Amino acid sequence: MKHLLTTQGLAKDDAILLLDTAAQMAATQSRENKKLPTLRGRTVVNLFYEDSTRTRISFETAAKRLSADVINFSAKGSSVSKGESLKDTALTLHAMGADAVVVRHSASGAAHQLAHGGWLDAGVLNAGDGMHQHPTQALLDAFTIRRHLVGGVGHDGRGTDTSAGADLAGLRVAVVGDVLHSRVARSNVYLLHTLGAEVTLVAPPTLVPVGVETWPCRVSYHLDETLEQWQPDAVMMLRVQRERMSGGSGAFFPSPMEYSRKFGFDARRLAVLPDHAIVLHPGPMNRGLEISAAAADHERSVIVEQVANGVAVRMAALYLLLSGETGQTTDERNAQ
Amino acid sequence: MSTASPQAYVLRGARPYGTDPVDVVLADGVIAALGAPGTVAVPDGAHEVDATGHVLLPGLVDLHTHLREPGREDAETVFSGTRAAAAGGFTAVHAMANTTPTQDTAGVVEQVYRLGQEAGWVDVHPVGAVTVGLGGEKLAELGAMADSAARVRVFSDDGKCVHDPVLMRRALEYVKAFDGVVAQHAQEPRLTEGAQMNEGVVSAQIGLTGWPAVAEESIIARDVLLAEHVGSRLHVCHLSTAGSVEIVRWAKGRGIDVTAEVTPHHLVLTDELARDYDPVFKVNPPLRTAADVEAVREGLADGTIDIVATDHAPHPVEDKDCEWSAAAFGMTGLETALSVVQQTMVDTGRMTWADVARVLSESPARIGRIDTAQGRPIALGEPANLTLVDPGATRAIDGRTQVTASANTPFGGMELPGRVVATFLRGRATVLDGAVADQMEGATR
C-alpha cells in the first residue's frame, strides 16, 4: 500500500492484513516499553486542516510508538478558500522530505488530491476528508468488532483475541444517525461489506443521501424496528452535529428531543439486543442526544476501547504504508 | 491596410451544409459568387482556398460566452477570448454580464462592445445583467443598455438565478418593449446551497454536496409559466437534465415562447468524472448522468433544445489547481464546441450539418436578435460570415496550446473529430489554413 485514502475498493486481503497487523501492534501495547524501533528515521507529518484533537493525538501516538519523527502541521485557519493552498503545502512537505502525510481536511477529496496531484511523493493517509472517508476509523471499528464478536474477547476486554486472519462474515451491524454528512458511515459501509458483514443504515430520511441505493447496505428509517426485528450484533451510533438541527427551514429534523426519541440509543433499546451485542461510537459523543449516558457507560459499550484500538490500527497503517515492500498501490500492482 | 479593397477569397469545392461541392467567392465582405466548381467568376488576386471535402457553415454564433473583461483579465480578455472564438469557428459571441464591474449599465456594455470592435475577431454582443450587480434585488437599467451603442437584447444574471418570482416577472415583461429576452440561469438557490456536483449516486459516494436536478427543473417550470402568463419570450441557459428537456418540450407544445440551450460538455460528459476530484470537471450546472446526456441529445435532435452554446468559462490555473470545493465552476469551450457537436450529433447520425448550422448559428443569432448580420443563409449577396470545417480531421486537445488564455478544458488528452480550417468575418479571414491570425487588419489593438 502506498496510500490509505478510502475503504471503497480496499481489497479484502489488504483489510485483513491491516487488522491482523493492528492485533500484533495491540499486543505490544501492554508491555511496559511500548515503543518499537520500526520507523526510526522516518518522518510523519500530521497535516490537520480541521480541529481534531482525538484523531491527531491518536496518529501522533501511533507514529511515536513506531519511533517515527512526528511533525504536527496545524493548518487550521487556512480555510480552503484562502491562505496557503493545499498544493503549496504539499510542495513544502515534499521539500522537507516527509515520508508519510496524515491529512485531515474539510474538503472531500483533499487526501486523494494530495496523493495523486503530482505535488508530493509521500504516502498519504486519509484522516478524514469532508463527508467522504475516514478509513482508519472504519478499520478501528472493524478491529473492535472482530476482537469481540469473532475473537472471543469479553465485554470487559479480557480474553485472548483469536480472530487473526478472520473476516466479519455473517455479522450484522447497524449504523445509526447522520449518514448524509458522515465520512465514518461511508467508510464503514464499504469496509464492513468487504469483510462480509451486513450493514443497515438507520436514519431519518433527511439524513440519508440521495443515491444511497448503490451502497452495499440496507437502509431503515426506524431504529426500534431494526433493533427488534434485525437483531444486530453491533450498533454504531454516529455523532449528530449541532448545526444540523438549526437553520430554520433547512434543519434536518424538528428538534433534539424528537431525534433522541426516535434515533437515540439508550438502556431500553440496548435491552432489546442479543446478549453478545456491542455498542460503538466514533466520538466525541453528544450524551443525551444520540446516546444516553446509561448506554454509553454500559458494560457492553466498547467506546473507550475504540480509542485504544485506534492507536493500534494507525500503527498498523503507518507501518504498512512506510515499510511496504513495493511502494505501489493495489491498483498499480494490478495494472502490471 | 495595404490595399484599398480587402483581400478576396475563393473557396474551391466547399460543401455548404455538407451538401454538394461548390466554389464560393468572398469579396467586399459578402458572398460575391457561388456555383458549381469551375463555373464562377473569380476576381483577380483572389486567395485560393482548397476546400475539397470541407463543410461550409454560416459563421458560428455563441449566445453564452464569458470573456471575463473587465475584471478578470488574468483568466481571459476580450482580445484572447474572441481570438479563441474565431479559432473555434465563431463569428459572433454574446459576452456574459458577470464581469467586474458588472455589465449592468450602458457604460459597461458599451466598453465591452468597443473592446470587441477593437479586437476585430468576432462581433461581440454584450449581455446585460437583469439585476444591479447580479444581486437579484433590483432591475438594472435594461432600457438604457438596449438603447446604448451595444444595442443589448439578451439579459441574464448568468452565474446567478433570478430567483425572486416577482422580479423575474417584471424583467420578462419589461424587455418586451425592445424585443429583448431574459436568459435564465435556472438554479433554485436554497436547494443548491454549498452544492458541488450533481446530486446522485456519485455525490453520495464521494461525499460532495449535491446539486439536485429539481433545483434546475423547478425554476424552468416556474419561468415558462411566467412567460406564458405575461406573453414574453424566455431563454433557458445551459439546461442539463432530462426533466428540463421534458418541461421545455411541454412548454413548446403549449405554444409558450421559450428557447433553450445546451452546452457541448453536457452533451458528452457525466458526473462520473468527478470521482478523481479533478476540478477541471467542476461546472455549473454540474455534469449530470448518462441518462441526462442521452435526453439532451434527443432534445437537441428533435428541436426541443434550440441551440448549443458554449458557456465558455475560462479560469486561471490557481482557481482549478486546488481542492474541489474551493475550485471555481466552469470550463472553456469555444475551441471544442463544434467538434463535440460533430462527435455527439453528426457522427452519430442524429443531426445533419444543416442542423448544426441551425443550432450553432441561425437560431442563436435569431434569439440574440442579430440575425440581420449573423446566422444568415449561405447565398449570393449575404454577409461573408462563414466557417469552413474539415470533418475528416481528428485532433488531440491540449489546454496549454489552445488560443484561450486559460487551460481549463475538460477535453484535455482526448481526441476530437473535426477541425476549423477557416473562419471569415465579413469576408476577412480570422482563421486561414487552420491558423488563427495574429492580428486583425484594421483592429486597433
- What integer pLDDT is reported at residue A83 of this predicted model? 59
Instruction: Please state, for a pLDDT cut of 90, what percent of chain A lies above it.
Output: 80
User: Of the candidates B75, B108, B86, which has an alpha carbon nearest to the alpha carbon of residue B399?
Assistant: B75
Q: Is A169 helix (H, G, I), strand (E, B) or coil?
A: coil
Q: Is residue B323 within 8 angstroms of chain A, CB to CB?
A: yes
Q: What CATH number corresponds to the domain at position B338?
A: 3.20.20.140
Give the β-pairing of B47-50 and B123-126: unpaired
- Check pLDDT > 60 for residue A331: no
User: Of the candidates B138, B146, B232, B244, which has an alpha carbon nearest to the alpha carbon of residue B188?
Assistant: B244
- Give the Cβ contact number of residue A153 at 10 Å: 20
Q: Mutate which of A87, A108, A183 to disrupt the B interface (most B C-beta within 10 Å)?
A: A108
Whether residue B85 lies inside any domain: the answer is yes
pTM: 0.94
CA distance B382 to B401: 34
Whether residue B151 lies inside any domain: the answer is yes
- What integer pLDDT is reported at residue B415 of this predicted model? 98
Domain A135-302 has CATH 3.40.50.1100: no
- Check pLDDT > 90 for residue A159: no
Distance from CA of B361 to the nearest CA of A (A): 38
Whether residue B390 lies inside any domain: the answer is no
User: Which residue in chain A has the smallest CA separation from B199?
Assistant: A210
Q: How far is CA B331 from CA A37, A334, B193, B266, in A?
A: 50, 33, 21, 11
CA distance A121 to A109: 17
Average pLDDT on A243-263 reads 85
Please give the helix or strand (H or E) that residue A165 lies within, else none: none
pLDDT for B245-293, tens place per residue? 999 999 999 999 999 999 999 999 999 999 999 999 999 999 999 999 9
**B205 chain-A contacts, CB cut-off 8 A:** 8, 186, 211, 214-215
Using only C-alpha atoms, chain A has a radius of gyration, in whole angstroms, of 19
Name the DSSP letter for residue A4. B
Q: Is residue A250 within 8 angstroms of chain B, CB to CB?
A: yes
CA distance A330 to B24: 60
Expressed in angstroms, the distance from the first to the final Cα of chain A is 15
The ipTM assigned to this model is 0.90
> Is B62 within 8 Å of B85 (Cβ atoms)?
yes
Q: Do A132 and B207 touch (CB under 8 A)?
A: yes
**Where in the sequence is the domain holding B185, given as residue range(s)?**
61-367
Domain with CATH 3.40.50.1370 in chain A: 12-133+308-330, 135-302
User: Which residue in chain A has the smallest CA separation from B321?
Assistant: A87
**B325 chain-A contacts, CB cut-off 8 A:** 80, 106-109, 130
Catalytic residue among B311, B319, B355, B390: B311
Which among A8, A107, A183 has the least Cβ separation from residue B325?
A: A107
Q: How far is CA B307 from CA A333, B213, B290, B304, in A?
A: 47, 20, 20, 9
Report the amino acid identity of residue A20.
D
Strand partners, B211: B198
Q: All 3 cell numbers of residue B416?
A: 476530437
Q: Do B210 and A209 touch (CB under 8 A)?
A: yes
- What integer pLDDT is reported at residue B350 of this predicted model? 98
pLDDT for A189-236, tens place per residue? 999 999 999 999 999 999 999 999 999 999 999 999 999 999 999 999
Residues making up the binding site of A for carbamoyl phosphate: 54-55, 104, 134, 137, 283-284
Residue B55 sits at φ, ψ, to 5 deg, of -95, 130
Per-residue confidence band for A325, with pLDDT thresholds at 50, 70 and 90: very low
Q: Is B17 helix (H, G, I), strand (E, B) or coil?
A: coil
Whether residue B218 lies inside any domain: the answer is yes
Residue B95 sits at φ, ψ, to 5 deg, of -90, 120
Which among A87, A132, A214 has the least Cβ separation from residue B201?
A: A214
∠ Cα A234 A236 A242 (to 5°): 165
- Check pLDDT > 70 for residue B160: yes
Instruction: Please state, for a pLDDT cut of 90, what percent of chain B lies above it.
Output: 97
Whether residue B205 lies inside any domain: the answer is yes
- Check pLDDT > 70 for residue B5: no
> Is B289 within 8 Å of B239 (Cβ atoms)?
no
Report the amino acid identity of residue B361.
S
- Of A81-90, A250-259, A279-288, B291-300, which range is least confident? A81-90
- Check pLDDT > 50 for residue A330: no
Q: All 3 cell numbers of residue A250?
A: 433547512
Domain count, chain B: 1
Per-residue confidence band for B442, with pLDDT thresholds at 50, 70 and 90: low
Whether residue B444 lies inside any domain: the answer is no
Q: All 3 cell numbers of residue B282?
A: 467542476
> Is B69 within 8 Å of B408 (Cβ atoms)?
no
- Check pLDDT > 80 for residue A76: no
CA distance A224 to B380: 79
Q: Do A211 and B208 touch (CB under 8 A)?
A: no
Q: Is residue B201 within 8 angstroms of chain A, CB to CB?
A: yes
The fold of the A12-133+308-330 domain, in CATH, is Rossmann fold (3.40.50)
The residue with cell 458572398 is: B31
- What integer pLDDT is reported at residue A324 of this predicted model? 67
B311 flagged as catalytic: yes
Distance from CA of A107 to the nearest CA of B (A): 6
Average pLDDT of chain A to the nearest whole number? 91
User: Which residue in chain A has the smallest CA separation from B208?
Assistant: A108
> Is B413 within 8 Å of B381 (Cβ atoms)?
no
**A211 chain-B contacts, CB cut-off 8 A:** 199-205, 210
Per-residue confidence band for A158, with pLDDT thresholds at 50, 70 and 90: confident
Q: Is residue B206 within 8 angstroms of chain A, CB to CB?
A: yes
Distance from CA of A277 to the nearest CA of B (A): 28
CA distance B259 to B425: 26
- Check pLDDT > 70 for residue B444: no
Average pLDDT of chain B to the nearest whole number? 96
- Of A324-333, B46-55, B397-406, which range is least confident? A324-333
- Check pLDDT > 80 for residue B3: no
Q: Is A150 helix (H, G, I), strand (E, B) or coil?
A: coil
